[in-house]
């Protein structure tokens, strides 16, 4: 105890017990440790003292009524241990409260989404950039199955590595799929590699097309957010009309089928050199046998390269693959 008192005298008991006791109560505890029990008869100001109440409630002192009322200090090691246990219990209770509130928030959010069509018009225009940003976040948090995005190179401010839109953990835990298609010029912007890497690590599936006509956000099959200007921040249209949203969903899926995946570094996934050679000859109209003779490989190898390329492009037949490769010029990029 003498060691504790020596430290207390140097630092001040209120500093030693900060977070456990308020300053006046800590100083009274130091007084009890220094002088021993205090008799209420000799110190009547302690009878209804809030400091005494705090010490007793926190377990740093107790009242003894044998003979005459006395305030007795509790041994520091035992008092501090009990106080820390009490704090741990409070932290656990707070954590449980946070978890419960989050669960209730999800229930309320689903209820809001389920009745949103009754409260909102089918088409609504927003012009406040802050309101548009908040709406984007709200749409993301409300997603139940799918959150889809088209991203063009038109930004109000150039993006950096922090521009990555990382999906919220609670939304990913619901099994929501996040898909994004970039316009190719986005990949040439400063910090694009880091931005795309963070998006991929955060849970996005990423693809790229040579160009896109506009930005777009799609949430499940019930809402779409479309830009009024190129950046999407001067104005945006929230669409809840089922027919329009369904058409926009079909449009996104068509683009997704044409787009090529991005690898982990944000650089377009490449056809191998052998695949490029086979695809160029396939596009020229050669049969598998002619391609094999020209490249001095087996027909089986030719078919294997073509099959891998079809899977990579995301189609199941050569005619469609040829149309996409020629139209979008993918072979010219590698």
Identify the pLDDT of residue 334: 38
For the cut 50, the answer to whether the pLDDT of residue 327 exceeds it is yes
For the cut 70, the answer to whether the pLDDT of residue 110 exceeds it is no
- Long-range CB contacts for residues 31-34, cutoff 8 Å, separation at least 24: 32/61, 32/71, 32/72, 32/73, 33/1, 33/4, 33/5, 33/8, 33/73, 33/76, 34/5
Share of the chain above pLDDT 90, in %: 10
Q: In the structure, what pLDDT confidence band is assigned to residue 7 with cuts at 50, 70 and 90?
A: very low
Q: What is the pLDDT of residues 124-182, one digit of tens each?
A: 888 888 888 888 888 888 888 899 999 888 766 665 555 567 788 888 888 889 999 98
- Domain spans of the chain, in order of start: 1-115, 123-267, 273-328
Q: Of 296, 261, 263, which Cα lies nearest the Cα of 281? A: 296
Weakest mean pLDDT among 76-90, 120-134, 254-268: 254-268
For the cut 50, the answer to whether the pLDDT of residue 5 exceeds it is no
Q: Give the best-scoring range by mean pLDDT among 121-125, 247-251, 257-261.
A: 247-251
CATH classification code of 1-115? 1.10.10.10
Q: In the structure, what pLDDT confidence band is assigned to residue 121 with cuts at 50, 70 and 90?
A: low
Identify the pLDDT of residue 252: 92
For the cut 60, the answer to whether the pLDDT of residue 4 exceeds it is no
- Dihedral over alpha carbons 21, 27, 32, 34 (to 10 degrees): 130
Q: Is 123-267's fold the same as 273-328's? A: no
Identify the pLDDT of residue 163: 57
Q: Which residue has the tokens 């009524």?
A: 65
More confident position, 62 or 269: 62
CATH of range 273-328; options 3.40.50.12780, 1.10.238.10, 1.10.10.10, 3.40.50.300 = 1.10.10.10
The highest-level CATH class for domain 123-267 is: alpha beta
Q: What is the pLDDT of residues 172-218, one digit of tens each?
A: 888 889 999 988 888 777 777 778 788 888 888 888 888 888 889 99
């Amino acid at each position: 105890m003498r060691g504790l008192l020596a430290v207390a005298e140097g630092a001040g008991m209120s500093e030693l017990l900060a977070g456990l006791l308020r300053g006046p109560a800590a100083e009274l505890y130091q007084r009890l440790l220094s002088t021993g029990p205090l008799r209420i008869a000799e110190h009547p100001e302690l009878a209804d003292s809030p400091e005494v109440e705090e010490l007793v409630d926190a377990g740093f002192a107790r009242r003894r009524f044998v003979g005459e009322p006395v305030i007795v200090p509790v041994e520091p090691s035992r008092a501090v241990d009990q106080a820390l246990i009490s704090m741990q219990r409070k932290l656990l209770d707070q954590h449980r409260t946070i978890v419960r509130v989050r669960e209730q928030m999800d229930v309320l959010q689903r209820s809001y989404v389920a009745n949103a069509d009754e409260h909102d018009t089918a088409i609504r225009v927003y012009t406040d950039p802050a309101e548009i940003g908040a709406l984007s976040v709200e749409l993301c948090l409300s997603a139940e199955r799918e959150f889809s995005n088209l991203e063009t190179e038109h930004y109000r401010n150039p993006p950096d590595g922090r521009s990555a839109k990382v999906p919220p953990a609670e939304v990913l835990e619901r099994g929501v799929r996040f898909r994004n298609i970039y316009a190719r010029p986005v990949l040439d912007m400063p910090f694009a590699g880091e931005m795309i890497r963070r998006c991929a690590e955060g849970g996005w599936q990423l693809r790229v097309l040579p160009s896109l006509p506009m930005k777009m956000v799609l949430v499940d099959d019930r809402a779409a957010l479309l830009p009024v200007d190129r950046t999407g921040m001067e104005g945006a249209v929230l669409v809840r009309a089922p027919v329009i949203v369904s058409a926009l969903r079909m449009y996104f899926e068509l683009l997704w089928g044409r787009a090529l995946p991005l690898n982990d570094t944000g650089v377009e996934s490449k056809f191998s050199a052998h695949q490029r050679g086979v695809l160029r000859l396939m596009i020229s109209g050669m049969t598998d046998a002619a391609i094999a003779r020209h490249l001095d490989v087996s027909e089986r190898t030719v078919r294997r390269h073509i099959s891998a390329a079809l899977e990579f492009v995301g189609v199941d037949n050569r005619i469609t693959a040829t149309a996409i490769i020629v139209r979008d010029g993918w072979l010219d990029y590698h």
